[in-house]
Amino acid sequence: MGRVIELFGQVAQNIVKAVTEVSPFPISLTDEKGYIIGDSNSRRIGTFHPASKLVIEKNKTCLFTNEITAELENVLPGIATPLKFDSKTVGVLGIVGDPDNVKPYAELIKKYVEMRWHENYMEQMEELETKKVESFLQYLILNPNINKEMFLKYCKIIGLQPNIARFCIIIDIGRDLMEIVMRPSHSLSIHNEKISLVENAQKIFERDKNTICGFLNTTRILLLQPSYSEGDFIYKMEKFPDQCMELKKIFKKKGISNITISSGTAVGTLEQSHISYKEAEDLLEMGKNLCINPAIYSYFDLEILLKLIPFQLDKDLHDKLMFRLKKLFSNTHFNDLYNNFITYCDNNLNVTKTAAKLYIHRNTLIYRLNKLEKLTSLDLGRFDHCMLLYLVLKGDFRKEQNE
């Protein structure tokens, strides 16, 4: 109840302003000790109100006429009625005016004040729960040295089972959210916007009791999804692309269009979630650097894996291959040769299709491929030779571009 009363004091003047807009009578709100914490006349805030103290003691509505108020300091004619929260009196509403005129409105205004108070309380509790989850995600993902006791305490507070396997989904929204809430015409708070986005994400990815979802920061939403078995993880990964596309559509309607989504693989326990997060983060950055579209990435996607393979060559092996192919990389026509060869591979080593794609004569392409063979000593009619050169070229050329 202490938290309720504390909150009442924080929001009292806001409630008074809201009531004043719809009520023909000035009002005041006092705490359980009889001190005014909200008033249509802000100069009265902080002063003692004897009438409220009397109402709290009697725990019933009291009328105050001119004759009665003449003998009381800081009391105006009107009606004072107890304010209830969970059936307990926690303050007093004072409505200023002729008691006979005020009386028909008293119950209605009282209900309105209590409703606004309850709404504010629920919003505050919701915000505290949200911050609790966000703090836990930040501690779990960003802290290199997790304290076991602290970790288990967090799990107990939030109601999480720590020993269930999970995988991390990152929803990167860039600066779109901050730009939206900073617009002068925008009415919702950043807290309400964040809740809306999190609820959408939870719904699309079919949240259950073991899902953890919240903002890591203003640019990223995290979902730590449970993986109850290998089959369950495969099932969720098969649905992942369609779910991402659906979420993108929903977010776009809310003005958030700069969305990139990636997923890590499943790890054995909640405590290991930072590993899955790092996988998802690395994949997200790689996808952005390679300009892979749509911006939906997972290690379950074969097309994504194919694009990543060139970057996974062992450095020692990569250096040896680079030395072996030095003549090609130092050739003045390297960029053209690179483009011709990659297109050749993308067209399944078909010379005719490749020439058409490049808008060059078939013989011109054959000449250039022959030149490549001379520079590399590879047989470009062989799949394994082409694969070797493809992996080296894709990996090294992209690295140079990024640098």
Superfamily per CATH, domain 2-125: GAF domain (3.30.450.40)
61, exposed or middle or buried, with CB in 10 Å at 0-12, 13-18, 19+?
Answer: middle
The pLDDT value given to residue 7: 57
Every domain of the chain with CATH number 1.10.10.2840 lies at 313-402
The pLDDT value given to residue 290: 85
The pLDDT value given to residue 396: 66
271, exposed or middle or buried, with CB in 10 Å at 0-12, 13-18, 19+?
Answer: middle
Every domain of the chain with CATH number 3.30.70.1230 lies at 143-308
Q: What is the pLDDT along the chain (403 residues), one digit of tens a residue?
A: 455 556 566 788 888 998 888 888 999 999 989 999 999 999 999 999 999 999 999 999 999 999 999 999 999 999 999 998 888 888 999 999 999 999 999 999 999 999 988 888 888 888 888 999 999 999 999 988 889 999 999 899 888 999 999 999 999 999 999 999 888 887 788 888 999 999 999 999 999 999 999 999 999 999 999 999 999 999 999 999 999 999 999 999 999 999 999 999 999 999 999 999 999 999 999 999 888 899 999 999 988 888 888 777 778 887 888 888 989 999 999 999 999 999 999 999 999 999 999 999 999 999 999 999 999 999 998 998 998 899 888 876 444 444 4
| H/E element, 128 | helix 99-142
Superfamily per CATH, domain 143-308: Nucleotide cyclase, GGDEF domain (3.30.70.1230)
Which amino acid is present at 186? H
The pLDDT value given to residue 398: 46
Every domain of the chain with CATH number 3.30.450.40 lies at 2-125
Please say whether the structural domain 313-402 has been given the CATH code 3.40.50.170.
Answer: no
**CA-CA distance, 211 to 133, in Å (whole number)?**
11
- The predicted model scores a pTM of 0.74
* In the block, residue with structure tokens 């305490």: 153
* Sign, CA torsion 321/324/330/333: negative
Q: What does residue 73 show for φ and ψ, rounded to 5 degrees? A: -80, 140
